[in-house]
């Protein structure tokens, strides 16, 4: 008999572990663990989503005839982490081997590879996670043969490999990327669909009560829990997105609207990341909608690029560069994250809205994460460790392999330009252009150095001035520096002095 350990982000019937095991002889192990639930203070909705999805998944495997040993969450259990849990099972029933699909996170994968076998005293068979379009090795090979690692070139390679939106050897429509059509502010007319609501069963309700009782000190609210927790519900979410949201996904991908928490985004990331959906079936569905003329090319291509391009590229970078990646701090950022990241209590309307969404829904869409919250942390030089921990805790879809390169690389430029070719630094003007936040804000987006000026404006110029030497060889930054140089010395000094003052009272902004 072999044990097969299935982790909380491997909830797929196609997972390699299940394919390798024999239902009649082997036993599946699953556990809700103190170590996993607390290694950062995950948002309660994220814990509820994982625990409930795990319970539903175990129930479904059992109904198919699998033998399951499932440990429900209990702080008093001796087994606080995966290895203690497997050890406890071995003490009850010895096994010939442990089968596991490789972990998505470096810390756990390293432990599995280096210490588990001697701790458990049985052979460990580690299987490749084949839920991705590109294996770690394939990415490594591409990385070593490319002079510069850029998502766009990697994406084209995967378009060729998978055939998505390809016309023979050429991209459908003649262009690889239709982003130029995907940068519109909302026109205040196209109606934004309501979020799909899911029915809750007893498993969900029990888990929500458990999480409310056990994780009161974790940031985020769980009054309204509306995530899919079964494969069937996740498929419903995919279908709803394709029917109602995909049509405007591309056009309004970057748009920000007051009180609209989801816009035309899919909300599928948690399901892709924990296994309830596969990236292939999601891309297939988007491509099909385009083939059937239900959505335009710019939107189908834009959506498929997020999954086939960005998601796979980000994972490739993580595994290529860890563990040293997480230690990088190329811009030497060392300031503290202000307290309003845990309360949303700030006068900056854009930050208030995006942090509120994060705390209320364990969600923010990409531009809220990148160009509002992330931009603020970049411009203020907040320490990468603090920013990374916040992002890993707060979102329902946050797993280190995808969170870290996005935060550390794309937002903070802490990797010196591995993920992004230039920092996503922007003044209030960008937020004003893409949103209606500024209309309700205490600050004035049109000015830079008055008492009530939009903080993003002066912080933006200060960021450029502070890192001039670092960015001097980056051709994509030269335009910005030309604009800075057009300001008089007096104006430049007024901006820098204003930022000194702002940063002293960052907690009051």
Contact 96, 121 (CB under 8 A): no
Rounded to whole angstroms, how far apart are CA atoms 331 and 412? 8
Residue 328's region, left for phi above 0, alpha for psi from -120 to 50, else beta, is beta
Tell me which residue has tokens 């948002």: 43
**Residues of this chain, 303-362, that bind ligand FAD according to CB under 6 A:** 306-307, 310-311, 314
Contact 49, 274 (CB under 8 A): yes
* Nearer to ligand SF4 (CB atom), residue 141 or residue 440: 440
108 binds, among ligand FAD, ligand DLZ, ligand SF4, none (CB under 5 to 8 A by kind): ligand DLZ
In the 3-class helix/strand/coil scheme, how is 177-219 assigned residue by residue? Answer: CCHHHCCCCCCCCCCCCCCCCCCCCHHHHHHHHHHHHHCCCCC
Contact 448, 458 (CB under 8 A): yes
For ligand SF4, the binding residue among 21, 425, 431, 499 (CB under 6 A) is 431
Contact 391, 383 (CB under 8 A): no
For ligand DLZ, the binding residue among 11, 28, 36, 314 (CB under 6 A) is 36
Of 272, 282, 317, nearest in space to 12 by CA = 272
Contact 72, 293 (CB under 8 A): no
Residue 469's CB is within 10 A of a number of other CB atoms, namely 7
Of 185, 186, 192, 502, nearest in space to 348 by CA = 502
For ligand FAD, the binding residue among 402, 438, 464, 499 (CB under 6 A) is 402
Would you mind telling me the total number of residues written for the chain in this entry?
509
Q: Which stretch binds ligand DLZ (CB under 6 A): 35-43, 306-314, 385-393, 452-460?
A: 35-43
Interface with ligand FAD includes 410 (CB under 6 A)?
Answer: yes
> Min. distance of Cβ 433 from ligand SF4 in angstroms?
10
**Residues of this chain, 66-125, that bind ligand DLZ according to CB under 6 A:** 103-105, 108
Contact 16, 100 (CB under 8 A): no
Interface with ligand SF4 includes 459 (CB under 6 A)?
Answer: no
Interface with ligand DLZ includes 405 (CB under 6 A)?
Answer: no
Contact 347, 427 (CB under 8 A): no
Interface with ligand DLZ includes 32 (CB under 6 A)?
Answer: yes
31 binds, among ligand SF4, ligand DLZ, ligand FAD, none (CB under 5 to 8 A by kind): ligand DLZ
* Nearer to ligand DLZ (CB atom), residue 31 or residue 426: 31
Binding mask 85-114 for ligand SF4 (x = CB under 6 A): ------------------------------
Interface with ligand SF4 includes 432 (CB under 6 A)?
Answer: yes
Binding mask 226-265 for ligand FAD (x = CB under 6 A): ---------------------------------------x
For ligand SF4, the binding residue among 203, 362, 428, 434 (CB under 6 A) is 428
Q: 82 is written with which tokens? A: 């995966």
Rounded to whole angstroms, how far apart are CA atoms 308 and 21? 29
Q: 52 is written with which tokens? A: 């409930």
Footprint of ligand SF4 on this chain (CB under 6 A)? 348-350, 428, 431-432, 437-438, 441, 443, 445, 454-456
Footprint on this chain of ligand DLZ (rule: CB under 6 A): 7-9, 31-33, 36-37, 42, 47, 50, 103-105, 108, 399
């Amino acid at each position: 008999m072999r044990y097969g350990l299935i982790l909380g982000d491997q909830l797929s019937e196609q997972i390699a572990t299940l394919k390798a095991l024999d239902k009649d002889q082997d036993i599946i192990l699953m556990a809700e663990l103190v170590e996993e639930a607390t290694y950062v203070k995950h948002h309660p909705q994220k814990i509820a989503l994982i625990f409930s999805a795990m319970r539903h998944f175990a129930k479904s495997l059992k109904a198919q005839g699998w033998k399951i040993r499932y440990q429900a969450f209990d702080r008093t259990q001796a087994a606080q982490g995966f290895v203690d849990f497997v050890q406890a099972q071995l003490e009850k029933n010895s096994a010939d081997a442990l089968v596991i699909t490789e972990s998505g996170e470096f810390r756990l994968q390293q432990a599995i590879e280096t210490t588990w076998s001697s701790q458990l005293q049985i052979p460990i068979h580690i299987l490749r996670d084949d839920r991705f379009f590109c294996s770690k090795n394939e990415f490594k090979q591409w990385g070593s043969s490319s002079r510069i690692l850029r998502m766009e070139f990697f994406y084209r390679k995967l378009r060729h490999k998978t055939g998505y939106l390809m016309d023979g050897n050429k991209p459908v429509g003649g262009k690889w990327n239709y982003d130029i059509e995907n940068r519109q502010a909302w026109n205040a007319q196209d109606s934004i669909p309501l979020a799909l609501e899911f029915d809750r069963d007893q498993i969900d309700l029990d888990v929500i009560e458990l999480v409310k009782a056990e994780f009161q000190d974790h940031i985020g609210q769980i009054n309204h829990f509306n995530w899919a927790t079964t494969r069937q519900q996740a498929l419903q979410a995919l279908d709803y997105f394709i029917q109602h949201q995909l049509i405007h996904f591309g056009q309004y991908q970057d748009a920000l609207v007051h009180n609209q928490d989801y816009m035309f985004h899919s909300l599928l990331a948690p399901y892709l990341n924990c296994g309830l959906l596969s990236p292939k079936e999601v891309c297939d569905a988007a491509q099909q909608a385009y083939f059937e003329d239900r959505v335009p090319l710019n939107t189908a291509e834009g959506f498929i690029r997020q999954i086939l391009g960005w998601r796979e590229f980000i994972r490739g970078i993580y595994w290529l560069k860890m563990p040293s990646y997480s230690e990088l701090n190329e811009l030497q950022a060392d300031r503290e994250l202000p307290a309003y990241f845990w309360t949303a209590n700030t006068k900056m309307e854009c930050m208030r809205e995006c942090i509120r969404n994060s705390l209320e829904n364990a969600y923010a869409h990409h531009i809220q994460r990148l160009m509002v919250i992330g931009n603020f942390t970049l411009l203020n030089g907040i320490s990468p460790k603090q920013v990374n921990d916040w992002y890993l805790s707060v979102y329902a879809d946050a797993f280190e392999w995808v969170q870290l390169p996005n935060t550390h690389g794309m937002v903070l430029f802490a990797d010196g330009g591995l993920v992004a070719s230039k920092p996503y630094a922007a003044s209030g003007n960008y937020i004003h252009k893409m949103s209606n936040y500024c209309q309700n804000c205490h600050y004035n987006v049109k000015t830079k150095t008055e008492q009530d000026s939009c903080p993003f404006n002066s912080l933006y110029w200060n960021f450029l001035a502070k890192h001039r030497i670092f960015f001097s060889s980056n051709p994509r930054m030269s335009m910005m520096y030309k604009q800075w140089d057009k300001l008089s010395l007096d104006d430049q000094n007024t901006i820098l002095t204003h930022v000194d003052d702002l940063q002293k009272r960052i907690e009051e902004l």
